[in-house]
């Protein structure tokens, strides 16, 4: 029987983009926002137009996505899942065209056991053909045609959704252990 496949989002699921974003917004906009202040909110709402332009410029600069920290336990969990499932990495890189190369290099560095033929740099995730998608963006899970799993993050904490939900990578492993037909 063919193995089932799990597509996994990058930003705020594998990579701690939020931490880098907070550091960057404070640097380029000369602010001192704390994680608590932007928690549960879109950071963008706190910026004026000029600050938002500066931040967007920083995000689309080569290098922004290259040194992100890995989310807790992601490497070990993905490695375990890869023993039973085909793992695809599906990231909405088209929104930030300068991120392509950084994202590729980051994946090769931190997840060297994954098959790059299954990396998918896309925009709308309805184009992804997989059995499961783990993502922090509700609209992407809605667009996806397989089973969606919402990975909790600052920005989606209070969103209503019917998708399965997990708080961290330990819960992802528990979910797939419970789903697995042994």
**Near a second copy by CB under 8 A, which window of 74-82, 127-135, 150-158, 165-173?**
127-135
Binding status of residue 111 toward a second copy by CB under 8 A: no
Q: Which is nearer to a second copy, 15 or 92 (CB)?
A: 92
Give how far the C-alpha of residue 140 lies from the chain's centroid of Cα atoms, to the nearest Å. Answer: 11
What DSSP designation does 116 have? G
102 is an active site residue: no
* CA separation for the pair 87, 158 (Å, rounded): 29
Q: Which of 19, 5, 2 is nearest to 120 (CA)?
A: 5
CA distances from 44 to 31, 39, 48, 122, 153 (A): 13, 12, 8, 23, 16
11 is an active site residue: yes
Backbone angles phi, psi at 134, to 5 degrees: -100, 120
Distance of closest approach, residue 133 Cβ to a second copy, in angstroms: 11
**Near a second copy by CB under 8 A, which window of 8-16, 48-56, 125-133, 151-159?**
125-133
**Near a second copy by CB under 8 A, which window of 37-45, 53-61, 128-136, 167-175?**
128-136
Question: How crowded is the C-beta side of 61, counted as CA atoms within 13 Å?
Answer: 13
Catalytic residues: 9, 11
Residues that bind a second copy (CB under 8 A): 5, 7, 88, 90, 92-94, 97-98, 100-101, 104-105, 115-124, 126-130, 145
């Amino acid at each position: 029987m063919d193995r089932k496949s799990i597509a996994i989002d990058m930003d705020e699921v594998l990579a701690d983009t939020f931490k880098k974003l907070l550091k960057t917004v404070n640097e380029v906009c000369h602010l001192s926002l704390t994680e608590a202040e932007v928690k549960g909110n879109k950071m963008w709402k706190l910026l004026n137009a000029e600050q938002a332009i500066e931040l967007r410029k920083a995000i689309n600069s080569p290098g922004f996505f290259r040194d992100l920290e890995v989310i807790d336990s992601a490497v070990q969990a993905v490695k375990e899942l890869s023993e039973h499932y085909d793992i695809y990495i599906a990231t909405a890189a088209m929104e930030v065209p300068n991120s392509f190369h950084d994202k590729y290099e980051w994946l090769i560095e931190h997840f060297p056991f994954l098959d790059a033929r299954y990396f998918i740099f896309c925009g709308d995730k309805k184009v992804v053909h997989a059995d499961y998608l783990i993502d922090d963006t509700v609209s992407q899970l809605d667009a996806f045609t397989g089973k969606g799993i919402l990975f909790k993050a600052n920005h989606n904490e209070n969103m209503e959704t019917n998708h399965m939900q997990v708080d961290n990578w330990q819960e992802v492993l528990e979910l797939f252990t419970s789903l697995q037909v042994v």
